[in-house]
Structure 1
C-alpha cells in the first residue's frame, strides 16, 4: 500500500517508492540468508535502513522470519558528536524493533585493542597515516566488520550485506558496484568475503532523493531526521560508509570520519563543526593538525627514529639519510600527554551528554605493555603521565604484573653506562628471558636473542658517517679507470 508521502515523493523525484519497497520485500523473502545492514549514522545508511524497515514492517509478523543485523563500526577515534549520535540511535533502533516485533538488532563493532589507532601510533610508534602508508583502514574498519560478517556466515552459511551506497557518488564506486553483479538477481558477490552477497537498495538515488525521503518520512525508531540534516549543515559533511573492503575510498575532506585522519590535507568537517558553535572540539582539531605536521618532509626527522621498527636501517639508492622509522619514544610520550590534555579540555567544555574518552583504559594498558617490553620503560611512563594530567591511577589487572620497576631501571642505566651499552638492548634481552621463563623447551630464546642482537644499536651519527664513507669510497673507485697492460 502506497502512503501519501510516498506518492508525493514519487511526483517530486521520479522515484517509485512503492515499487522499491515491494522489491525490497521480494528480495527479503527470496531466501533464508540473514541481512547485515551497514549503518554509519549518515544520510545514505539512514535512508537505506529506514526504507527497509518500512518495507519489512508491512509484512505479516510470521513472514518477518529472517534476522536483520544493523552493524555500525566505531574506530574508537570517531568524532565525539557522531559517536554519541550513533550510540543513541542504536539504542533507539533496538527499543523500537522490540516494540514493533521487527527482526532487527543493532550493534557496533570496534577494533581489537592491539589494533587500535592509539596503540599503534603512540604504543608502537606508527607514523600518522598517509596516502602512501594508510595502515589504519584495515585495522580499524575492515577487520572488525569482516569478523562480524564471517561469524554470521559461519552461523548461517551465507549472508546478504545491505549497503547504503549510491552509484552517483563517484565513477569508481559505480564501477565497483557493477563489477560483481549477479545476472538475473538484485545481488552482487562480495569482492573479498566468501558466502557474503551485497544488496544496494538506494543505488540509483541522488543526494536530493535521499534528503527528500528522509525529510518526508518519519523515522520508524523515533529519531528526527531534521537533526541529522542540521548536523550535516554544521559540518558541511558527507557520509563515511561502513568499510568492508579496500576498494572503498578513505573518508576525508568534507566527510564525517575519524577525527585523527591525516590522509587528507584538512579536516573540513571538524573545522566546520568548530566554526558553527562546537568550539569544545577545537583541542581535537589542534592535535590532528599536529599529527599532520609530522608528515611534513622537512620535519619528519624531528619526530621519527632513523631505524625501522625491527631495528634495521634502510637506505634507498645513494641516499645518505635512512628511511624514517617509527616515532621517537620521547615524542610518543609527548603525544600521550597532549592526547590526555585534549581529553581533559574537551570534557571540561563539552555540552551535557557529550563527554567522551579519547583513549580507552585498555589502550593505555596495552601501550604500557609495549613500552615496557620494547622500550625498557620500567618506570611506567603511561601511569605517570595519566596521573600527572588527570589525577587518576591506571587500574591494574592480573595481566599487569611486571618484575622490573623504576629503581631497577636506574640500576640498569648505571650498569650500561659502565660498560658502554644501550640500556634498551639489555632491557630487551632481560624481557626476552622473562618471556620464556617456565617453558620446558627454551629453543625460542635463542631466536629472540639473535633477533635483538641483529638490530642496529649504534648511534645515528656513527651509522650515517659509515654510510657516507662507503658512498665516498664507491664513488672514488668508480672514477678510477682500469688500465690494461700491453701484451
Structure 2
C-alpha cells in the first residue's frame, strides 16, 4: 500500500513548493476544477499557499476553469455553479488574482446535436466520440487562448499517481527531470503542475476535512455527496491520456460507456426521485447498443453514404447513424423528461437540451434528411407548447404544396426523395458563389452515395454469394477432372 505523503513531507513544505513554482516566472496558471475531491483539494492548496504571500507578490493571473458538457449530472452542475460563485466573491475579498471560467462545447459539438442531429450512436468503449467534443476541445480552446495571449501557460491539475497504474505511468512519461513541472501531452508551450502527485486518497480527504475551505463552502457537503452517490469524481480532461469517466464516477448523466449509472441510482435512492426520468433515458440509450436492435434503429448506410460489410466472413453490415424515426422518437422522450424534471425537481428552468441545439438539429435534418416539414420544431411545440421562431432561411425552402409535388415526382420516377433534397440543398448553398463550378464536387459526392434500398442490396449480395459459390464449385470440379 502506498504511504501517505505526510509521512515524508509537512503541509508547510507543500505550501512552500507551490509558492516557489508560482513566483518562479510570469506564466499564468490555469487550474482545472471539476468539483470533485481531488480538484477541490488542489485548488484549496494553491489558494491557501498564495494567501501567505504578501499582496504585492500575488501578481500572476490564475484562471480556474470548469468544464460543463451540458449533460452533466444536475447535482454536480448545481454544486460547481455555487462553488465558482463563492470562489469569485472570496478571491476579490481576499485580494487574490483568481477568476473562474466555465468552458462549454460549441453547439455543433454538443451531445444532442451529435446524437440526434447527426445520428451518432450512443458512446461506447469502441466509439467514445464524446470525450474529445464535450471536454478536451473546450479546455484546449481556453488553454490556446491564454498561450496566444501570454506566450506560455502552466496547467495545474489535481492528478495523483495513486489513482491508477495508467495514471502513474502517464505522469511519469511527461515528467521533466529536476523540475516540479511536466510537459503537456499536446501543447509544446504549455506545462503541467500536479501538486497532488504523491497524495493518496486518504490524504485528500484528511486535508479537506481538517482545513477550512477558504472560499466559504463546507467540504463536508462534498463528502456527503460522495457518500450518497458512492462515486469518484469525473476529472477535467485535457488530453486522451486522462480517462474521462467510467465505473461509478460522477459525470454525464447520458453516459453509456458504463453498464449502469450507480452514482445516479444512489442519488435517487437517497431521495432525489426527480432524477428518475434521466436514468430511464440513459437506459434507453444503453439499450440501443444491443447487437440485436442495432439494425432496427440504425441505418444500413454510414454517414458518408457508403455501405460497409464486416470482414469476418459473416457478411453483416456495420450499422450507420440512428434512423431519423428513432431520432424523432427520442427527441420526444427527451423533451417529455425535461418537462417532468422541471415539474418535480428543484429547478423549474432546468434545460436538458438548449434552444440553440434545437435550431442546429433542425438545420441538420433539413440538409441531411430532407426534413422540409421542420419536424424538430413541430415536436418541440407538441411537447412544450412553445412555437420556436424558425431559423432564418435566406436560401429558400419548400411550401407544403411544393413538397407534395416533389413527393409525387420522386415516386413517379422511382428516385429517392432524400437524393433530390440533398441535390437541391447543394444548389441552395451555392447561390451567390462567384464560381458556380464549385458545386460540382458536392454534387458528385452526393451522387456517389449508396442510393439503392436495403432489399436491392440484399438481392445483389445473394447474387454475389451464388457467383462465389459457383466459382468455388467450378474450381473444385476442374481440380478433380485433371
Same fold per TM (> 0.5)?
A: yes
- Cα deviation, 1:265-304, whole Å, max 9, x if unaligned, reads 1111111111111110111110101101100111111110
2:418 to 418, 424, 427: 424
- Cα deviation, 1:217-248, whole Å, max 9, x if unaligned, reads 12111111111111111111101111011111
- Match of 2:411, SS state, is helix
Q: CA RMSD in A?
A: 1.9
Q: Distance in 2 between matches of 1:200 and 1:168?
A: 12
**In the alignment, is residue 395 of structure 1 matched against residue 417 of structure 2?**
no
- Cα deviation, 1:39-80, whole Å, max 9, x if unaligned, reads 000010000001100000111111011100001011111011
- Match of 2:319, SS state, is coil
**In the alignment, is residue 224 of structure 1 matched against residue 206 of structure 2?**
no
Write out aligned runs for 1:278-427 (5 A): 278-317=272-311, 318-351=313-346, 353=347, 355-396=349-390, 398=392, 402-427=396-421
Q: Distance in 2 between matches of 1:373 and 1:11?
A: 57
Does the aligned pair in 2 maintain the 1:237–1:269 contact within 8 Å?
yes
Does the aligned pair in 1 maintain the 2:288–2:297 contact within 8 Å?
yes
Shift in alpha-carbon separation, 1:282–1:479, aligned structure 2, 3 A: same
Q: Distance in 2 between matches of 1:106 and 1:410?
A: 53
Q: Distance in 1 between matches of 2:399 and 2:37?
A: 52
* CA deviation after TM superposition for structure 1 residue 398, in Å: 4.5
Q: Distance in 1 between matches of 2:119 and 2:351?
A: 21
Shift in alpha-carbon separation, 1:335–1:401, aligned structure 2, 3 A: farther
Instruction: Give the TM-score taking structure 1 as reference length.
Output: 0.94
Q: 2:208 maps to what in 1?
A: 214
- Match of 1:172, SS state, is helix
2:69 to 75, 87, 92: 75
Shift in alpha-carbon separation, 1:107–1:354, aligned structure 2, 3 A: farther
Q: 1:185 maps to what in 2?
A: 179
- Match of 1:107, SS state, is strand
Does the aligned pair in 2 maintain the 1:321–1:464 contact within 8 Å?
no
- Match of 2:155, SS state, is strand
Q: Distance in 1 between matches of 2:38 and 2:270?
A: 23
Q: 2:144 maps to what in 1?
A: 150
Q: Distance in 1 between matches of 2:481 and 2:342?
A: 86
* CA deviation after TM superposition for structure 1 residue 387, in Å: 0.4
Q: 1:6 maps to what in 2?
A: none
Q: 2:259 maps to what in 1?
A: 265
Q: 1:242 maps to what in 2?
A: 236
Q: After alignment, is 240-249 or 311-320 more displaced?
A: 311-320
Q: 1:457 maps to what in 2?
A: 451
* CA deviation after TM superposition for structure 1 residue 87, in Å: 1.1
* CA deviation after TM superposition for structure 1 residue 95, in Å: 1.1
**In the alignment, is residue 94 of structure 1 matched against residue 72 of structure 2?**
no
Q: Distance in 1 between matches of 2:141 and 2:117?
A: 24
Structure 1: runs of 5 or more not aligned:
1-9
**In the alignment, is residue 438 of structure 1 matched against residue 432 of structure 2?**
yes
Does the aligned pair in 1 maintain the 2:183–2:190 contact within 8 Å?
yes
Does the aligned pair in 2 maintain the 1:378–1:408 contact within 8 Å?
no
Write out aligned runs for 1:8-157 (5 A): 16-157=10-151
Does the aligned pair in 1 maintain the 2:302–2:320 contact within 8 Å?
yes
Q: Distance in 1 between matches of 2:386 and 2:221?
A: 36
- Cα deviation, 1:84-142, whole Å, max 9, x if unaligned, reads 21111111111111111100000110111101110010000000011111111111100
Corresponding pairs, count: 477
Structure 2: runs of 5 or more not aligned:
none
* CA deviation after TM superposition for structure 1 residue 336, in Å: 0.7
- Cα deviation, 1:282-335, whole Å, max 9, x if unaligned, reads 111101011011001111111100000111111123433311000001101111
Does the aligned pair in 2 maintain the 1:80–1:354 contact within 8 Å?
no
Shift in alpha-carbon separation, 1:358–1:13, aligned structure 2, 3 A: farther
Instruction: Give the TM-score taking structure 2 as reference length.
Output: 0.95
* CA deviation after TM superposition for structure 1 residue 208, in Å: 1.3
Q: Distance in 1 between matches of 2:111 and 2:394?
A: 21
Does the aligned pair in 1 maintain the 2:29–2:154 contact within 8 Å?
yes
- Match of 2:415, SS state, is coil
* CA deviation after TM superposition for structure 1 residue 448, in Å: 1.2
Does the aligned pair in 1 maintain the 2:5–2:203 contact within 8 Å?
no
* CA deviation after TM superposition for structure 1 residue 408, in Å: 2.9
* CA deviation after TM superposition for structure 1 residue 14, in Å: 6.5
Does the aligned pair in 2 maintain the 1:253–1:269 contact within 8 Å?
no
Does the aligned pair in 1 maintain the 2:306–2:450 contact within 8 Å?
yes
Does the aligned pair in 2 maintain the 1:81–1:354 contact within 8 Å?
no
**In the alignment, is residue 170 of structure 1 matched against residue 151 of structure 2?**
no
Does the aligned pair in 1 maintain the 2:229–2:262 contact within 8 Å?
yes
Does the aligned pair in 2 maintain the 1:13–1:209 contact within 8 Å?
no
